[in-house]
Amino acid sequence: MNIPFSPPYVDDSVIAEVVDTLRSGWITTGPKTKALEEEIKALCGAEAVLCVNSWTSGAMLMLQWLGIKEGDEVIVPAYTYSATALAVLRMGAKPVMVDTGEDFNISVEAVRRAITPRTKAVFPVDIAGFPCDYGAIMDLVREPGIKAMFRPGSLVQQQLGRILVLSDAAHSLGAYCAEGVRTGCRTDVAVFSLHAVKNVTTAEGGAICLNLPAPFDNADLYQELRMRSLNCQTKDAFTKSKAGAWRYDIVGLGMKVNMADVNAAIGLAQIRQYEDLLARRVEVFHLYNEAFSACDWAICPPFEKDGKRSSCHIYALRVKGFDEARRDRMIELVSKKGVAVNVHFIPMPMLSFFKSLGYRIEDYPQAYKNYSCEISLPIYPQLSDEQVACVIEAVKDAYREVMGE
């Protein structure tokens, strides 16, 4: 049986919504993008939501708004997809990498130790869809001693008066970060990714959730950021296309990172059924948990803790005592059965570019440990129970074979 790793969810309603956009006469940023923003806002409870063309550009837009400069530092986990740190580098600042915990997420104590007067932001990442400890991270940046260390370098930084918390919620749309509270509303800024492999997708896309404290007004900030995402043009193309509305101005140096309606349509049709899609992800997660919790060699990924609950984006299985070589061999054997698996993630300090910048994996022992024995199994709503059983069998067989070699 051939089981792909993470195919996008495209049913008739997704196709109908895209066709509707194509036939409407308006295909770039307009009513569908606005409707998607409203759906995401309603789902996660953020004060304002702006859709852009990727997580990466959303993070860059927020760093530009924050007035980040060379010499500034942003704390990120070593264990994440590279975009988390690349967005920081692209904006001229330095990603300060810290180690992760046993649950794959950034260690709050490690964040505390990494804070310097140059720290302008911290990017916790909800790995696999399991939320970070936002309460502890927000408390940390509000501590009087930590605030006293903060050196604002822009008006926005001065108004905030402390380190910005921007959560990389690329994986965690629909997850709970506290009892009954969805991710996206408990950090200053949260950015979801709507990339093709994510739980809800627009092929390429991202959603910026705004929850900044006073004196910021999140509705005003939405308008400002929307303009920034359109090259700082005072009128978007949709408004300008109306008869007589031709005149516009450019009021600054923005970015061109808006989402097109033809993309938004895909996500719009998906998010309308997301509660059901999410419920099936949870079922698949539990089928894996049931099977692997009975194996003394397996470490099942976190699902629920202290009111937090995963969006089940990735099923990150770990094999006790395995090193990279045996993990790689196990992947080879599983793949031979037609089951596509993956590794999340190769820690950034192991990748050439980050090595060339001086990062060393030896400084992140837990990230390395998590990585070296990890295998991500297929998890998505289209999987049948039969396919899940097939994955489980392939993984168990592969383990036995590796052990017998």
Using CB under 6 A as the criterion, which residues of the chain lie in contact with ligand PLP when the complex forms? 54-56, 80-81, 83-84, 125, 168, 170-171, 193, 195, 206
Nearer to ligand PLP among residue 171 and residue 182 (C-beta): 171
Nearer to ligand PLP among residue 100 and residue 233 (C-beta): 100
Nearer to ligand PLP among residue 10 and residue 203 (C-beta): 203
Task: Using alpha carbons only, give the angle 217, 219, 220 rounded to the nearest 5 degrees.
Answer: 65
- Tell the smallest beta-carbon distance from residue 80 to ligand PLP (Å): 5
Would you give the DSSP letter of residue 200?
Answer: S
CA atoms within 13 A on the CB side of 405: 11
- Tell the smallest beta-carbon distance from residue 242 to ligand PLP (Å): 31
- Tell the smallest beta-carbon distance from residue 265 to ligand PLP (Å): 17
Nearer to ligand PLP among residue 348 and residue 398 (C-beta): 348
Q: Is 316 helix (H, G, I), strand (E, B) or coil?
A: strand
CA–CA separation, 187 and 217 (whole Å):
15
Give the pair of three-digit tokens for residue 361: 């994996």
Nearer to ligand PLP among residue 56 and residue 310 (C-beta): 56
CA dihedral of 280, 283, 288, 291, whole degrees rounded to 10? -150
CA dihedral of 177, 107, 122, 104, whole degrees rounded to 10? -60
Nearer to ligand PLP among residue 53 and residue 157 (C-beta): 53
Type of residue found at 239:
T
- Tell the smallest beta-carbon distance from residue 126 to ligand PLP (Å): 8
Distances (CA, A) of 156 to 65, 254, 357: 8, 16, 29
Nearer to ligand PLP among residue 21 and residue 53 (C-beta): 53
- Tell the smallest beta-carbon distance from residue 95 to ligand PLP (Å): 12
CA–CA separation, 282 and 275 (whole Å):
11
Residue number, nearest CB to ligand PLP: 55
User: Cis bond leading into 301, ω under 30°?
Assistant: no
Nearer to ligand PLP among residue 56 and residue 370 (C-beta): 56
Q: Spell out a b/e string for 139-172, using b for 16 or more CB atoms within 10 Å of the CB, else e.
A: ebbeeeebeeebeebeebbeebebbbbbbbbbbb
- Tell the smallest beta-carbon distance from residue 125 to ligand PLP (Å): 5
Nearer to ligand PLP among residue 18 and residue 59 (C-beta): 59
- Tell the smallest beta-carbon distance from residue 118 to ligand PLP (Å): 23
- Tell the smallest beta-carbon distance from residue 293 to ligand PLP (Å): 26
Pair type for strands 119-122 and 164-168: parallel
Query: Residue 135's CB: how many other CB atoms inside 10 A?
Result: 15
CA–CA separation, 204 and 59 (whole Å):
14
- Tell the smallest beta-carbon distance from residue 69 to ligand PLP (Å): 23
Distances (CA, A) of 307 to 189, 293, 299: 21, 21, 21
